[in-house]
Chains A and B, each alone.
Chain A
Amino acid sequence: MNIAVQHATGKKANKLQSTRIAGKLVNDYWEMVWRAKEEGKLICWYEGSAINPFLEAAGICWVHGEAYSAMLAARHQEAKAQQVAEERGYMRELCSYARTHLGCAVSNQRLRGDGAGAAPDDDDLTWKLPAPDMIISAYAYCSTGQQWDEMTSRIFGKKVPIFNVSIPWIWGSKPDSGYLQGQEWEETSDYVTRQLHEMIAFIEKQTGKPYPWDRLYELMADIKRASELRLEAMDLCTAQPAPASFFDWVVSIAPINNLPVAGVKDYFETVLAEVKARVASGEGAVPDERYRLFFDGIMNWNKVGWLANKFANYDAAVIAGRYTHMAFWQEPNLIDPNAPVRGMAQNFLICPNNHSSPILIKLIMDLCRKFEVDGMVIHASRTCRAFTNPQFLIAETAHRELGIPTSMFEGDVTDESFYKDEILNSRVEAMLEAIDSRRIAGAA
């Protein structure tokens, strides 16, 4: 038996070159946000569901809380915001997306709002977010989401109007229930659709203008097409070696989820072209693909590139994940660009945490089969229990139904202090050793 995992070979992930464009799009977007107040735009803060096309169509500048926290973490500038939030009294176990974002809200009030703070440092991004003129709370599954919005409202003196969209959990317990089907699905779709129309009335009240529906139709036509391109590129990763990795799709979340729609379709056209070229030439996302893995869990945003290289160094192609493949306009066929609201509601409803476990787990197992994975890495996020709740069930089902080993490590979305490198190393290496020993046993 010779199943040693090789270390320190210095292999790096072969990232898609086109994802560099995403970096520029992200930077341009946040620059736009930081100067929005000076340009006289209305600002809406929201978390969770991608309601940004509704806002973009109405000319409102949108600030997605998780996106800002993730961006700070990716730039390793999250610690100050988290410290400010803790000083304010938000405990360390609170969702670190929320904690980071609330730290930014507190900083904004100290430096821009009440003038009680020190002079702002232009390189410090914690205070730069423009204060909200409105808050829209539209969060599927996550109970922290609404409390986060309420806390934000308090920080801004309870003066900001809030609109709440309730997105119910899909129980999947009725006889005709299933993914995108059944009475419950239709009823919840109608319920959220009605609320989104009420939300539009709220937006009209804030802007003082009739809602520009035609503009929304244009945006949603582009999003639908961008989503189709993204899914087509993802599907091509059934090729061996896989031309792109889970980490490429992580980097591509912002374009599909919260950036201005202009440019998103072009971005995914470029990504798809590169993926096709890689398939044609047999170029893989890791230099030597020996293992194909599924990633269950939300991203460690301060570790994206680092994790991509770590897995590449293990010759492990992390191909698909719940976070990337089961979210972010993942059902474009539901969107009718000429009447998009119901399809948008339905895409909000199928946030990957919002299904009952049987539906969720079946979708994950289907992805594992489709991409022919050898094992599953599970990231249990310390402060996002919404995502971690079903993970033992997922691991148990993967073992029972697919016969693949799983490996769970604890980390966090944006709080690096919860991540321990050796914890991940031991668990992933043990899983890869188990895969190797099974292969040798199978060949004997």
Chain B
Amino acid sequence: MKRYVMGIDFGSTTAKTVILDLKGKRVAHAVAHMGAVSGDGVKASIKMALDQAGLTQADMGRTVSTGYGRRMLDMADKNYTEITCHARGAVAMVPGARLVIDIGGQDSKVIAVDDNGLVAQFAMNDRCAAGTGKFLEVLARAVEVDLDKLGELALGAREKLKISSMCATFAETEVISLLAEGHPKTDVMGAVHAAIAARTLGLVGRVGKKGPVVMTGGVARNPAAVHYIEQALDMPLILPELPQIAGALGAALIGLDDYRAEYKHQITEAEDMAREEQMAEDKACIPGCRGVPELAVDPREKQPAPRAGGLKSLLSTLQNNL
């Protein structure tokens, strides 16, 4: 019996690999930037993770792939969609999450997660790169700013400007027009991020707004995107430590479940208990999970405080004093 599983998120612009041991502990992860669905890129990501862990592909009991290129990987035993894997990974990283916002290179998605951590409903950008990492990349190029610096720049926005088009090409035209009118880059980039937030809010509306909300994907590393989305939602976003690997982690966790189910008679008591504890802790979307998920309610959605002087307020005061 082997002791590790691998999850690979073969995305549109980056490849992510996660290796877990049989207790579900992450032993390695890697993110490789690449051209569109690049075979070399995904190989680099896998090699980086294997080298980090000091393992080889032969040490993997299960390999599960997700992302645009999920069907292209010969070493994958199974493949699942980004929706299933991102939900699974995000809930594992942020136990109790009820809404997952994932903005990646080519698509943005919002996933509502039910009480059991299962995908309840989802919505994705339909037509183009509207509101995605690619959208930001195109516009960063237009204003000659490094993508990594874009968020910091946009946070300095003072004047509210409007970018109305969500088509990357037309938005670039709008950006150029605003710059030509003399508006500073900070304000223009603030408007770009506000446009992404508005687009995200639309997707959230389609699945239902509820919290806690976790944000994953590469764009979660952009502080302005986080700021504007929080503002649009009027809710805080919880950011995992490694937002980019949510899909790969979810894939690895699904592979782990699968492998453990097949070899359950060979798994040690210690491994079994360690895994049980983690499952109970993360209340992740694992059918048969021992933990009963709590109803996660965003603090801002709690019942409003009783009106001062009202009957409810009086009753509340009486109850508190009894």
Q: In the complex the two chains form, is A438's CB within 8 Å of B78's CB?
A: no
Closest beta carbon of chain B to A279's beta carbon, Å: 33
Q: Cβ of A32 < 8 Å from any Cβ of B?
A: no
CB nearest to B111 among chain A residues: A430
Chain B interface residue number, banded: 20 to 34
Residues on B facing A (Cβ under 8 Å): 68, 71, 78-84, 116, 118-124, 126-127, 206, 208, 254, 257-258, 261, 285-288
The count of A-to-B residue pairs whose CB atoms sit within 8 angstroms is: 80
Q: Cβ of A437 < 8 Å from any Cβ of B?
A: yes
Which residues in chain A, 353-370, are within 8 Å of chain B measured between CB atoms?
none
Q: What are 29 A-B contacts with C-beta separation under 8 Å?
A: A1-B254, A1-B257, A1-B258, A2-B78, A2-B257, A2-B258, A3-B254, A4-B78, A4-B80, A5-B80, A7-B71, A380-B126, A405-B120, A405-B122, A408-B123, A409-B126, A427-B124, A430-B82, A433-B80, A433-B81, A434-B120, A437-B84, A438-B118, A440-B288, A441-B116, A441-B118, A441-B287, A441-B288, A444-B288
Given contacts A406-B121, A423-B126, A1 and B68 within 8 Å (CB-CB): no
Task: Please name 10 further chain A to chain B contacts, defined as beta carbons within 8 Å, in addition to the given A2-B261, A426-B124, sorted by A numbering.
Answer: A3-B254, A7-B71, A7-B79, A395-B206, A427-B124, A430-B81, A433-B80, A433-B81, A433-B84, A437-B119
Cβ–Cβ < 8 Å partners of A405 in chain B:
119-122
Cβ–Cβ < 8 Å partners of B126 in chain A:
380, 408-410, 423
- Give the dominant DSSP class at A's interface: helix
Q: How far is the CA of A61 from the CA of B317 in the complex (A)?
A: 81
Cβ–Cβ < 8 Å partners of A396 in chain B:
206, 208
Q: In the complex the two chains form, is A437's CB within 8 Å of B79's CB?
A: no
Closest beta carbon of chain A to B119's beta carbon, Å: 4
Q: Cβ of A429 < 8 Å from any Cβ of B?
A: yes
Closest beta carbon of chain B to A359's beta carbon, Å: 22
CB nearest to B124 among chain A residues: A427
Among A3, A423, A426, which residue has the most Cβ atoms of chain B within 10 A?
A426
Q: In the complex the two chains form, is A399's CB within 8 Å of B121's CB?
A: yes
Question: Could you tell me how many residues of chain A have their Cβ less than 8 Å away from some Cβ of chain B?
Answer: 31
Cβ–Cβ < 8 Å partners of A430 in chain B:
81-84, 119, 122
Q: Cβ of A422 < 8 Å from any Cβ of B?
A: yes
Q: How far is the CA of A384 from the CA of B255 in the complex (A)?
A: 42
- Give the dominant DSSP class at B's interface: mixed
Q: How far is the CA of A374 from the CA of B285 in the complex (A)?
A: 20
Residues on A facing B (Cβ under 8 Å): 1-5, 7, 380, 382, 392, 395-396, 399, 405-406, 408-410, 422-423, 426-427, 429-430, 433-434, 437-438, 440-441, 443-444
Cβ–Cβ < 8 Å partners of A4 in chain B:
78-80
Cβ–Cβ < 8 Å partners of B84 in chain A:
3, 430, 433-434, 437
Q: How far is the CA of A324 from the CA of B71 in the complex (A)?
A: 34
Cβ–Cβ < 8 Å partners of A423 in chain B:
126
Cβ–Cβ < 8 Å partners of A380 in chain B:
126
Among A423, A433, A438, which residue has the most Cβ atoms of chain B within 10 A?
A433
Q: In the complex the two chains form, is B71's CB within 8 Å of A3's CB?
A: no
Cβ–Cβ < 8 Å partners of B83 in chain A:
426, 430, 433-434
Q: In the complex the two chains form, is B206's CB within 8 Å of A392's CB?
A: yes
Cβ–Cβ < 8 Å partners of B71 in chain A:
7
Cβ–Cβ < 8 Å partners of A409 in chain B:
126
Q: How far is the CA of A427 from the CA of B84 in the complex (A)?
A: 11
Q: In the complex the two chains form, is B288's CB within 8 Å of A426's CB?
A: no
Cβ–Cβ < 8 Å partners of B123 in chain A:
408
CB nearest to B119 among chain A residues: A434
Q: How far is the CA of A426 from the CA of B126 in the complex (A)?
A: 11
Closest beta carbon of chain B to A102's beta carbon, Å: 24
Cβ–Cβ < 8 Å partners of A395 in chain B:
121, 206
CB nearest to A418 among chain B residues: B127
Cβ–Cβ < 8 Å partners of B121 in chain A:
395, 399, 405-406
Q: In the complex the two chains form, is B80's CB within 8 Å of A3's CB?
A: yes
